[in-house]
Amino acid sequence: MVLLRDERFLPNLTWHEIRDLEKENGVLVLPIGAIEQHGPQLPTVTDALIAERMTMLALERLQPEIKVWRLATQSYGKSNEHAGYPGTFALSASTLIAVVRDIALGAKLAGFRRLAFINAHGGNTALLTMMARDIRVETGLLVFTLFSSAGAQDPIEITPEEAKFGIHAGDWETSIVLALEPELVHMERAVKSFPNYPKSNNLSLTQGNAVSAWLTRDWSPTGVFGDSTVASAEKGRARLEACVVKLAEVLSEISTFEIPGAVDG
Q: What is the pLDDT of residues 126-147, one digit of tens each?
A: 999 999 999 999 999 999 999 9
Please report, rounded to a whole number, the percentage of residues in the chain having pLDDT higher than 90: 91
Q: How far is the C-alpha of 96 from the C-alpha of 225, rounded, in Å?
A: 25
Delineate the domains of the chain, giving CATH numbers in brackets: 14-254 (3.40.50.10310)
Measure Cα distances from 143 to 115, 157, 195 in Å: 5, 33, 35
Q: How far is the C-alpha of 265 from the C-alpha of 209, rounded, in Å?
A: 37
Q: What is the pTM of this model?
A: 0.94
> Burial level of 240, CB count in 10 A (0-12/13-18/19+)?
buried
Q: Give 194-238 pLDDT, tens digit per residue.
A: 999 998 889 988 888 999 899 999 999 999 999 999 999 999 999
pLDDT at 5: 66
Instruction: Evaluate if residue 69 carries a pLDDT over 90.
Output: yes
3-state secondary structure the chain: CCCCCCCCEHHHCCHHHHHCCCCCCCEEEEEECCECCECCCECCCHHHHHHHHHHHHHHHHCCCCCCEEECCCECCCCCHHHCCCCCCECCCHHHHHHHHHHHHHHHHHCCCCEEEEEECCHHHHHHHHHHHHHHHHHHCCEEEEEECCCCCCCCCCCCHHHHHHCCECCHHHHHHHHHHCHHHCCHHHCCEECCCCCCCCCEECCCCCEECCCCHHHHCCCCCEEEHHHCCHHHHHHHHHHHHHHHHHHHHHHCCCCCCCCCCC
